[in-house]
Structure 1
Amino acid sequence: MSQAQPPLTVACPQCRRKVEWRTDNPYRPFCSERCKLLDLGAWAEESHRIAGEPALDETNIDEWLARADRGD
C-alpha cells in the first residue's frame, strides 16, 4: 500500500508566500500572476541581475582579434 506524497511547497520568489508546486498552477513558482509580473518587471528594468563578468562589447572585436594575433 503506497501513500501519496504531499505536493512540494516552495516560497514565492516575490512575496515569500508558501505555494504548492503543482502542474495546474500556471504561475509556479510564483503564487499569482501579480507576483510573476512584478518579477518580470524587475528583470526588465534591470533591478535583478545575474552576477558575473560584464558582457563583451563587440564594437571593438576586430581590434581585439588583431591584438591577439600580434601577441599584444
Structure 2
Amino acid sequence: MGDNSVEVEVKVILSYGTFIPDVAGSIQETVIDEIGKITGMNVPRIDVIVVDLEAEKEEENQENEEEDEDPQK
C-alpha cells in the first residue's frame, strides 16, 4: 500500500480448547503494536486465520503411556 500502511494476514494453529476470539484479538493487538513500534507504519487491517486446531501432541501422549506402563520411572 502506498500510504505508509500495511495489511497483514497471520495464519495460526491453536490448541484444541483455546478460546479463539481471545487469542485472535491478542494476536491482532500485538502485531499492530509491534509493527507500529518497529516500522512506524499503520496497520488498518489484520486477518488472523486459524488453519488448524491441534490436539495434545503425540509425543506427550506416548510419554504418559510409557510412565503408566513402567511404575519404576
* Interval of TM-score (by shorter of Structure 1 and Structure 2): under 0.3
Compare CA radii of gyration and give the structure with the larger one: 1
More helix by share: 2
More strand by share: 2
Task: State TM-score, norm by structure 1.
Answer: 0.22
- Which protein, 1 or 2, shows the higher relative CO under an 8 Å CA cutoff with sep ≥ 6? 2
Task: State TM-score, norm by structure 2.
Answer: 0.22
